[in-house]
Structure 1
Amino acid sequence: MDTKHRCIIIGGSHAAAQLAPMLRQRGWAGSISLISNEYYLPYHRPPLSKEYLVGKKSLEQIFIRSPEVYRKSNISITLGVTATSIDRGNKQLILNDGASLNYDKLVFTTGARVRKLDIPGVNLKGVFYLRNLSNAQQIKPFTGSDKRAVIIGGGYIGLETAAALRKRGMQVTVLEALPSILQRISAPQVADFFIRTHREEGVKIVANEQAKAITGKKSVVSVKGQSGTEYPADIVIIGIGIIPNTELAAEAGLHIDNGIKVDEYARTNDANILAAGDCTSHYNPIYQRQLRLESVQNAQDQASVVANTLCGNLKPYTALPWFWSDQYNLKLQIAGLSHGYTDVVIRGDIKGSRSFSAFYLQESKLLAVDTVNSPQEFLLGKRLILQGKPLDAEQLANKDITLKSLLDN
């Protein structure tokens, strides 16, 4: 690779932190620049709603790479600046400080931002979203054993935050507008398990309750639900999903399809511009449809694909999606995507224990598996999905029949 070539990475996300040193390791000899609108080196986001929020990890402990790694790889990092436009014809990136940077290759790792809630009172003191480090730092002073928290949104971020705040001794209420938590992403049996677990830990979960207003004069006092009930609060945390950061790409004429559309080699419709992570949309050969994934693993996998592509070693993206969530003493691991399932098979005591597996079938095809405190079944479930062999639901439910024997038969 020509040492004069310049690669610029836009965004300080997980994908960016993986890609920058990976590029160097795989043979990129030119310059590498990472541009981020945050004031911190790229950091792990999952701990924001867990270890960092409760003070178990410091800022330095959640950095994905240490400053030394970037220095040794001769990677230039510019923090606190925003890319405002792209001149594709002249291959220039324009920044909000007036700088104009030439590039040979450009990579979007711009991630996603929180979806905002539009109800009265969202601007009161004590109302927060939890997506980045600044959010977590602002939330910390509002936590404590004598405080009450209301979380709007019963997805995994909301539940992880509920668990973290409960560990700090706070009174926690979760409001979910749909009939149950996790309704869009999990089977009812799995949702019921998490409802039971959170209630056992002292969290109040209220489904079918849409937040209509946040009350208070200067600071939050309560959240008023559509039922008319008011839920007292010293702090409100809103977690109702995220939106991919695609505006800059769209303005530059790149194709957008619920994310920056990339091919199997992470390339956009401009041969000199690639993308990785939460901001991207790609065709998944396993599920044979266009997907946008919000996961650390996808960010890592796509970063690897980008590094290979830029270094002239084309390897397609073929990874099976997988995710995880930590709540209390629970380790939830999810392999695959359950959309379109027709049957759910449970292995283990989902109603009385804290360990089980849920297998999502479409007829006899295994689409996905959710496991809680069952790492072995998670690994074997991943292999079963990739194997693609028809499975019998009765055999799958029978704990006397091992998953390994189903793989080997």
Structure 2
Amino acid sequence: MRQGIFRSWVEINKSALVYNFGTFREFTHKLLLMAVVKSNAYGHGLVECAKLFVKSGCDWLGVDDIDEAIALRKAEIKKPILVFGYTLPSRYREASSAEVSLTIGSLDALREIKKQSLRDKVTFTKSKLRIHLKLDTGLNRQGISEELLAASCQVLEKLKDVILLEGVYSHFAAAELVRRKHYRDYCNKQMDGFERMYNLVLSSLVPNTYNLVPIRHMAGTAATFLLPRSRYDLVRVGIGLYGMDPTSKSNLPFVKKLKLKPVLSWHSLIAQVKNVKKDEYVGYNLTEKLIRNSKLAIVPVGYWHGYPRSASSRGEVIVSGKRCKVIGRISMDMMTIDVTDVPKVKAGDKVVLIGKQDKENLSAEEVAVKAETINYELVTSINPLLPRCYI
């Protein structure tokens, strides 16, 4: 029994994960589907989730960095892998050898590839560096701007012997808000820009330098559902696979529409129960003053474990099917909760931080809202050292 082994643990529902994947696969029909497992699979466990998606039939896997990609290769996962984030030039050859595709989002990065290929043409010619060109269409983050695209294409043309241009992609700034006109107009502007820039890439490489047409992709979870035009050749589904809502709203509009199932739940136990009198203070800096004689419980979870400190005096957990308020300041390694209204509560009783117990349910979205953050940050912040139990 997990309560007898761990003080705190995360449970991952494998059947829910597979179900959610199937929902998106059915929804996207014949499009290529990239299962996004970046950032430790949104806190759910990189290798284990990737294996489930591969078994379920994903076409691609998306990761944050080269280390996540190499971890998947070491786990004998052979599916195409795209690294979204910045890769140090010193690791280009490693990516090439592992047949891992890199995001290249700047003219400087293309020039660096050219410089390395001139120094070590044998390595790069033997195993071409696979890349996806990232275009900045309005997020103004990573990606090549339209002003620098022509110059970038000139460098691309000279790299035909050492790189494989597999894809061209971009990223929306506000796809989850597309129902509002301002954001819908901006998304349309981004798609117009992407299509224009993609065509420029193609025309710059005629005759086809790379003997294939690069995959176009722009849609993440929200756009896959809300912006049919953006689906192009491949969709990148992340947060939705884990049964969470890309809007981060606690009423779960997206999740309910697609009937997605939550995958992650977070559990702990009560370490100690004590009676504390009215007007006593609880927490560092006398954070909260009790308004009644109270029964308090200590839970061995704090912000080091990933529970947000911003939920101090406002968060809730579930004990014996009842919601219990977080009292006082959340500490590094523990928190205090009010169990006054929970009958027969005792040390060792299970505490649900995210998830369901009896008729009560605390979604990741609701916990995030109380902590004034988003579900993405909440689940990816759960300490990777906490055990993940796949059920």
TM-score bracket for the superposition, by shorter chain length: under 0.3
Q: More helix by proportion, 1 or 2?
A: 2
Q: Which has the larger radius of gyration?
A: 2
Q: Which has the higher contact order (CA 8 A, sep 6+)?
A: 2
Q: Which has the higher strand share?
A: 1
* TM-score using structure 2 length: 0.26
